[in-house]
């Protein structure tokens, strides 16, 4: 019987194998497949953890055209911060859909951070003004870092302000990302200061209520909202949602989980058809992106498992090309 080889990828191997420009292109293909009905993506399973409180997510997806299927399992425990552990931990398992053979297992936290940033990069590429040069980031964590990295991969960003309720975290973010990306990154004392003259705004927080005031947004801004993934949790004010051209990764997922949209929907401020398009529809030319230079655009992402499969496939290709990871015979 032929031997099956499984490649095991650490967080560092995933980072090296999946540079952001490659991840953005992988997300474009994944988002297009979702909108074209060329991917099977069941709703993710939420498991509530009681002691200590937290959440486990199980996310499967199958992409026939790529011959890949995968399952991501992650845990999110807020109390891990006090333990010196990451809030999000987990594994991604990738399979060959033709033979059913497992191909790779990899660190899901790193993969999730990169693909979430890359999805915003894909949305920014079709929605933000071409000459956007200034960014604002809310949330100085891992996701905030990949959000900024992805925006810089598709727009000529020259400066960024970051706001976090933890001022020291903002300062660390600014120092690290200034050096990594070679641009001016500064901590902001207030949300309004972060938003001043920003062309692209990324929210990647654990907040349950809006993190900025709608009145502080400049005309023509593009917003990527990625932090909230539960029906009653939101980062974006209802006023912003109501006046923005709203684009999502997948309508069905957004209508189940996107509190940023579901809260104003329940309050009667918008209807379901306020979602103008999926990113994949814009990429395929079936829907317009930005319509005017003054228009506010909003990409609401809840994360879809096909994005994980696409990112894992791209990471596996990178590890094979660079000879990273550890091969294990099964």
Q: How does the average pLDDT of the chain come out, rounded? A: 94
- Note the pLDDT of residue 87: 86
- Note the pLDDT of residue 82: 84
Residue 217 in contact with residue 195, Cβ under 8 Å?
yes
Residue 74 in contact with residue 57, Cβ under 8 Å?
yes
CA dist., res. 307 & res. 167, Å (int)? 32
- Note the pLDDT of residue 259: 92
What are the DSSP calls for 160-193, one per residue?
EEEE-SSHHHHHHHHHHHHHHHTSEEEE-SSHHH
CA dist., res. 26 & res. 312, Å (int)? 10
CA dist., res. 234 & res. 130, Å (int)? 28
B/e letters for 82-121, b = 16+ CB within 10 Å, e = fewer, are: eeeebbbebebbbbebeeeebbbbbbbbbbbbbbbbbbbb
Q: How many CB atoms lie within 10 A of CB 172?
A: 15
Residue 162 in contact with residue 186, Cβ under 8 Å?
yes
- Note the pLDDT of residue 69: 96
What are φ and ψ of residue 61, in 5° steps? -160, 155
- Note the pLDDT of residue 65: 87
Query: pTM to 2 decimals?
Result: 0.93
Q: Which long-range contacts (CB under 8 A, 24 or more apart) does 85-88 make?
A: 86/142, 87/206, 88/112
Residue 222 in contact with residue 295, Cβ under 8 Å?
no
CA dist., res. 72 & res. 57, Å (int)? 8
- Note the pLDDT of residue 2: 63
Q: Which domains does the chain have, with CATH numbers?
A: 5-111+306-329 (3.30.1780.10), 130-303 (3.40.50.720)
3-state secondary structure of 38: coil
Name residues of the chain where pLDDT drops below 70.
1-3
Report DSSP state, residue 88: E
| Distance (Å) of CA 196 to CA 20, 133, 245 | 27, 13, 21
CA dist., res. 226 & res. 301, Å (int)? 5
CA dist., res. 17 & res. 325, Å (int)? 10
Query: Do β-strands 102-107 and 88-96 pair in parallel, antiparallel, or remain unpaired?
Result: antiparallel
Nearest to 276 by CA among 127, 175, 112, 107: 127
Residue 69 in contact with residue 61, Cβ under 8 Å?
yes
Q: Which two tokens stand for residue 314?
A: 């791209």
- Note the pLDDT of residue 5: 85
Q: What is the largest CA-CA distance in the chain?
A: 66
- Note the pLDDT of residue 290: 95
- Return the CA Rg of the chain: 19
Nearest to 276 by CA among 293, 309, 254, 308: 254
């Amino acid at each position: 019987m032929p031997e099956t080889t499984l490649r095991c990828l650490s967080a560092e191997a995933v980072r090296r194998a999946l540079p952001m420009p490659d991840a953005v292109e992988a997300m474009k293909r994944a988002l297009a497949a979702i909108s074209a009905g060329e991917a099977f993506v069941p709703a993710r399973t939420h498991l509530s953890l009681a002691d200590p409180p937290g959440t486990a997510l199980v996310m499967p997806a199958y992409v026939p055209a790529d011959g890949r299927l995968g399952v991501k399992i992650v845990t999110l425990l807020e109390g891990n911060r006090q333990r010196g552990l990451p809030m999000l931990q987990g594994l991604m398992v990738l399979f060959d859909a033709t033979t059913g053979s497992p191909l790779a297992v990899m660190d899901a936290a790193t993969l999730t951070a990169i693909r979430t940033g890359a999805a915003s990069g894909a949305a920014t590429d079709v929605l933000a003004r071409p000459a956007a040069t200034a960014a604002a980031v809310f949330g100085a964590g891992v996701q905030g870092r990949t959000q900024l990295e992805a925006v810089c991969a598709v727009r000529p960003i020259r400066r960024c302000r970051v706001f976090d309720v933890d001022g020291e975290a903002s300062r660390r973010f600014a120092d690290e990302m200034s050096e990594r990306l070679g641009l001016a990154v500064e901590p902001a004392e207030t949300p309004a200061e972060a938003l001043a003259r920003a062309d692209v705004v990324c929210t990647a927080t654990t907040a349950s209520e809006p993190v900025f005031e709608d009145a502080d947004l400049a005309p023509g801004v593009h917003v990527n909202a990625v932090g909230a993934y539960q029906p009653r949790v939101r980062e974006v004010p209802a006023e912003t949602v109501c006046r923005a051209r709203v684009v999502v990764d997948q309508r069905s997922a957004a209508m189940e989980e996107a509190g940023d949209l579901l809260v104003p929907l329940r309050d009667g401020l918008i209807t379901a058809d306020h979602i103008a398009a999926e990113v994949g529809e814009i990429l395929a030319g079936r829907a317009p992106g930005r319509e005017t230079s003054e228009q506010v655009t909003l990409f609401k992402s809840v994360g879809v498992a096909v994005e994980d499969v696409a990112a894992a496939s791209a990471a596996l290709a990178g590890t094979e090309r660079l000879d990273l990871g550890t091969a294990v015979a099964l």
